[in-house]
């Protein structure tokens, strides 16, 4: 994993995406990438990322998609295929930008759909599994 600051912004396809990074307790620990629901953001996860990190010792990477939280705004209405675009175009660039090496995608609602689309479309051997909450 890249040496990320604990909070900041990633520039992906011209958008500035808000993120929060909780470093793993060990360099060998996996990373859990959290994908929020349709009305969510980094902040709306509350203290769940910290509790998850404490329970798993994993690195936790949380980000707000464009149009959510402190990330860049988007033009509304969103296209009907926005989840496919997130899964096929944006998420791979995020995983590369954070130097994702091994771990899970944890998605809630729209985030679960995005995680599922990603996993079904990419043979990504770095990915150990999915955690899907209310897909």
The string of pLDDT tens digits covering residues 34-55 is 999 999 999 999 999 999 999 9
Residue 124, both tokens: 């990504």
Comparison of pLDDT for 1 and 74, the residue scoring more: 74
CATH of the domain at 44: 3.40.50.1820
Of 69, 119, 95, the C-alpha closest to 12 is: 95
- Dmax (CA) for the chain in angstroms is 42
- Total domains in the chain come to 1
> Is residue 2 in some structural domain?
no
Torsions phi, psi for 106 (to 5 deg): -115, 115
Mean pLDDT of 80-97: 97
Residue 25 binned pLDDT confidence (cut-offs 50, 70, 90):
confident
Question: What local confidence, expressed as pLDDT, does residue 1 receive?
Answer: 63
Range of the domain at 90: 7-133
> Is residue 1 in some structural domain?
no
């Amino acid at each position: 994993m890249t040496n990320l600051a604990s909070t900041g912004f990633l520039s992906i396809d011209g958008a500035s995406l808000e993120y929060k990074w909780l470093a793993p307790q060990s360099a060998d620990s996996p990373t859990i990438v959290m994908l929020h629901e349709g009305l969510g953001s980094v902040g709306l996860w509350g203290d769940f990322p910290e509790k998850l990190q404490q329970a798993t010792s994993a690195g936790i990477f949380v980000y707000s998609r464009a149009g959510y939280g402190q990330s860049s705004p988007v033009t509304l209405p969103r296209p009907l295929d926005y989840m496919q675009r997130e899964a096929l175009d944006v998420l791979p660039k995020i995983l590369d930008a954070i130097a994702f090496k091994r771990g899970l995608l944890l998605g809630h609602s729209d985030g679960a759909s995005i995680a599922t689309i990603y996993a079904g479309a990419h043979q990504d051997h770095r990915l150990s599994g999915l955690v899907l909450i209310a897909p």
